[in-house]
Copies of this chain bind each other. A is one copy, B any other.
């Protein structure tokens, strides 16, 4: 399993009148998580773009377990658990002060940015992920 971690401090702009992080903001937190995950793999998303690959989200799911408040530091952990095929799934776990506030996942499809058609992931990317995942994954 490949893991990454990044922290985001909750701004007023992230909250809503219930005084907590607005439910819509979590998908942006997820994006921050996978940006960090891909960078950690050594294949930042910008590299995929340079090779004319896009990774649009085709499915997203969020379980809101608890809440985060203004000025809290949300720890965003992202997980890649399996080799990418034409799709790749990333899991997320968000916590504040070691208490999990949300879990979820996004599923992405590789596309060719020129034709906008589904595409196999770049070989270098799959190999790199394979090395990082290790034989036990």
C-alpha spacing A64/B68, complex, angstroms: 27
Copies per complex? 4
Asked whether, in the complex, the Cβ of B18 is within 8 Å of the Cβ of A16, the reply is: no
Q: How far is the CB of A41 from chain B (nearest CB, A)?
A: 15
A9, A12, A15: residue with the most chain B Cβ atoms closer than 10 Å: A12
Kindly identify which residue among B11, B18, B60 contacts A28, using a CB–CB cutoff of 8 Å.
B11
User: A35-53 CB contact bits vs B (8 Å, 1 = yes)?
Assistant: 1000000001110000000
C-alpha spacing A24/B56, complex, angstroms: 12
User: A1-19 CB contact bits vs B (8 Å, 1 = yes)?
Assistant: 0000000010111011111
- The reply to whether the CB of A127 lies closer than 8 angstroms to some CB of chain B is no
- The reply to whether the CB of A23 lies closer than 8 angstroms to some CB of chain B is yes
Asked whether, in the complex, the Cβ of B12 is within 8 Å of the Cβ of A71, the reply is: no
- The reply to whether the CB of A119 lies closer than 8 angstroms to some CB of chain B is no
Q: A71: which B residues are within 8 A, CB to CB?
A: 35, 44-46
For the complex with contacts A13-B27, A15-B16, A59-B62, 12 further pairs of A-B residues with Cβ separation under 8 Å are A11-B32, A11-B35, A12-B16, A12-B18, A13-B22, A17-B19, A17-B69, A24-B25, A24-B28, A45-B70, A59-B61, A59-B63
